[in-house]
Amino acid sequence: MPNDSTAAPAATPAPNTPDSDGDGVLNAQDRCPNSAGPASNGGCPEIVSAVRQKLREATKSIRFELNKAVLLPSSYPTLDAMVPVLAEYPDYSLSIAGHTDSKGPAAFNLALSRERAAAARRYLLEKGVAENRIDMRGYGARHPIASNTTEAGRARNRRVEFDLFVSSGPNSAQAKYGVEPTAASLKAAAVKKAPAKKKLQKAPARKPAASKTKAAPKSKSTKAPVRRKVQSW
C-alpha cells in the first residue's frame, strides 16, 4: 500500500478569472461581460458602420411643428427604426440631444430643445424601449452646425441628434457638447458677457463768472483858477 506521505502535492488551483462571453477580456475589465467584443472597445460589440450611418441620417429626418415640441408624422418611421437597433445592441443606450437655431430668447430655445428631445424619447418609450436605455438632453442654440444668418443654415441647426453609447460608460452627448446647460447657467453667462457700464463722470463745477461792471470814469477836477491881485500904482 503506497505511503500517502510520498504522494505528489496537489496542484494549486488557478485564480478565478472568468470571461463570461469568451472574448478574451476578463469580466473585471469587460464593459460588456455578456456580449463579445474586442479589447479595443472595452470588450463591447462595435457598432457597424451601417448603423452609425442610420443614426446620422435620423438627425435629418426628425421634424416638429413650428416653435413646438410636437412631432410631425413624417418622423415616425425614423423613430420606429431605432427600436430594432436598441434590441440588436442590448449593452448600449441611446442618446438624444436637442438643438435649436439662434432666433428668439436663449431660455426659450433651451427649453424647446429639451422638450423636443423628450418628445422623441416619449415616442420610443411607447414602443416598448426601457426608460433606462434612453438619455435625453437639450443644448439650445449653443452648438450650431451651420450659419444662423441664413434660413438654410437655421434649418440645419434645428435638429435632434441620435447616438449610441455603452450604458456603463460616459454619455456620448456630454462627451461631445459638455454638461447640459440650465436656465440659471444661461443667465449667468449673459451677465458675464454684458459690457460693463461706464461710470458717468460729473462735470467739474463752474466757477462764478467775474463781475464785468465797468468802473465809473474819474471826474475831471473842477477847481476854480486862482485869481491874482492887481496892484494899482
Domains of the chain, with CATH numbers?
A: 48-187 (3.30.1330.60)
DSSP 3-state of 142: coil
pLDDT at 149: 96
Under-70 pLDDT residues of the chain: 1-17, 194-233
pLDDT at 211: 56
DSSP 3-state of 54: helix
What gap in Å lies between CA 112 and CA 164, rounded to an integer? 23
pLDDT at 187: 77
Residue that the C-alpha cell 427600436 belongs to: 83
pLDDT at 173: 95
pTM of the model: 0.74
Q: Which residues of 188-222 are buried (b: 16+ CB within 10 A; e: fewer)?
A: eeeeeeeeeeeeeeeeeeeeeeeeeeeeeeeeeee
Tell me the per-residue pLDDT of 208-231, one tens digit each, with 9 for 90 and over. Answer: 666 555 555 555 555 555 555 544
Residue 57 to residues 77, 161, 217, Cα–Cα distance (Å): 12, 9, 101
Residue 129 per-residue DSSP state: -
pLDDT at 185: 81
Angle (CA) 94-102-159 rounded to 5° is: 25
